[in-house]
Amino acid sequence: GDDRRRRSRSTPGGSSICRAPRRYPVAAPHEAAPPGPFSAFQVLSGLAQYLPIDAVRGARVVVLCNLGTKKMGGVESQGMVLCAKGEAGLQFVVPPAEAPVGARVTFDGYPGEAETNPKRIGKKKVWEACMPELATNGDGVACYKGVPFSVEGRVCTSPGVTNAPIS
């Protein structure tokens, strides 16, 4: 199918807040408020080696929430926090300050509804196809194929991390 259509349906990312970060032996889970009419959910990450827990607590982040539930070290993760990692270090992809928690991330020129069935996402290997196209630009703006991540018309950034891959 059309790459633009596939991309727009693949990633309902959204603005979330890390409410209760904790250290686990394998990964650091974060309780987050997801996009849409859902309750808080748990997201695990391997960020403990990069960011102190105080930098995570209360952080506004962009989370992918349609990749399906995964277990890490026996603990369930229900999403994936996006970060950029470059010469300046690792930083969260951050929604605009004005963005409400749960606001959907969009990409200008990529209309359509996000795919919400994790089994279809996995079967089509959509994340694997899209991930290499995610990066910050020279201004630290998070982009897909050079098109900024946008929440209600404002861009998402990874402060201080420029020209770096996002995963």
Separation CA 145–CA 126 (nearest Å): 15
128 vs 92: which has the higher pLDDT: 92
Amino acid at 129: A
Whether the CB-CB separation of 33 and 99 falls below 8 Å is answered with: no
Q: Per-residue confidence at 123, pLDDT binned at 50, 70, 90?
A: low
- Is the pLDDT assigned to residue 83 strictly greater than 50? yes
Separation CA 101–CA 107 (nearest Å): 18
**Which of 9-18, 23-32, 48-57, 111-120 has the weakest average pLDDT?**
23-32
Residue 71, beta-bridge partner list: 76
Separation CA 23–CA 153 (nearest Å): 35
Separation CA 45–CA 104 (nearest Å): 21
95 vs 110: which has the higher pLDDT: 95
* Closest residue by Cα to residue 63 from 91, 37, 35: 35
What tens digit of pLDDT does each residue of 3-40 get? Answer: 333 333 234 456 555 666 665 544 444 445 444 544 56
30 vs 135: which has the higher pLDDT: 135
What is the per-residue pLDDT for 164?
97
pTM: 0.75
Whether the CB-CB separation of 89 and 145 falls below 8 Å is answered with: no
Kindly report the average pLDDT of the chain as a whole number. Answer: 76
